[in-house]
Amino acid sequence: TIAMEDEELVKKAVDTYGEKIAVGIDCKDGKVYGRGWLAGSDLDYIDFAKKMEGVGVKNIIVTDISKDGTLEGPNVEMLKKLKETVNIDITASGGIRDIENIKDLMEIEVYGAITGKAIYAKTLSLEEAIEISKQ
């Protein structure tokens, strides 16, 4: 939310902390949401990612909020389109269910993945995910 509302603060944080700054982009239907997913916007997720790249952000955490917690698989097409557009690390979040989803994300070469519910629901083995990520 703060990155949507105060670009100057993001610039200052990047100037001070460099690559340690990651910005979350929560989106649904291609639009960025803030305030804990309660505040929609007209801001396109790709445009916002480009803006964050322009201020020096090196990692974005992208959550398709329509997928989060569903175990229905990540929005690979959305992530792929973003990956083809920006040149920063993308951490995928939302919907990851199993090792096949991890393989799908590896195929489009995202930086990382947040698995959340899949670990607790035991549909994904953390050990297997770590092992496959080394390949």
DSSP state of 39: B
* Backbone φ, ψ for residue 126 (5° rounding): -60, -40
Nearest to 57 by CA among 2, 127, 128, 132: 2
Q: Residues 111, 53, 83, 34: what is their CA dihedral angle, to the nearest 10 degrees?
A: 90
pLDDT tier for residue 81 given thresholds of 50, 70 and 90: very high
pLDDT tens, position by position, 49-63: 999 999 999 999 999
Residue appearing with tokens 């460099």: 18
Residue 13 CB neighbours (<10 A): 19
pTM, rounded to two decimals: 0.91
Token output for 82: 């973003």
Token output for 132: 């496959």
Quick check: 45 and 85 in contact, CB under 8 A? no
Question: How many Å apart are CA 126 and CA 77, to the nearest integer?
Answer: 24
Structure confidence at residue 102 (pLDDT): 96
Strands of the sheet with 22-28, listed across from one edge: 31-33, 22-28, 59-64, 89-93, 112-114
Mean pLDDT of the chain: 93
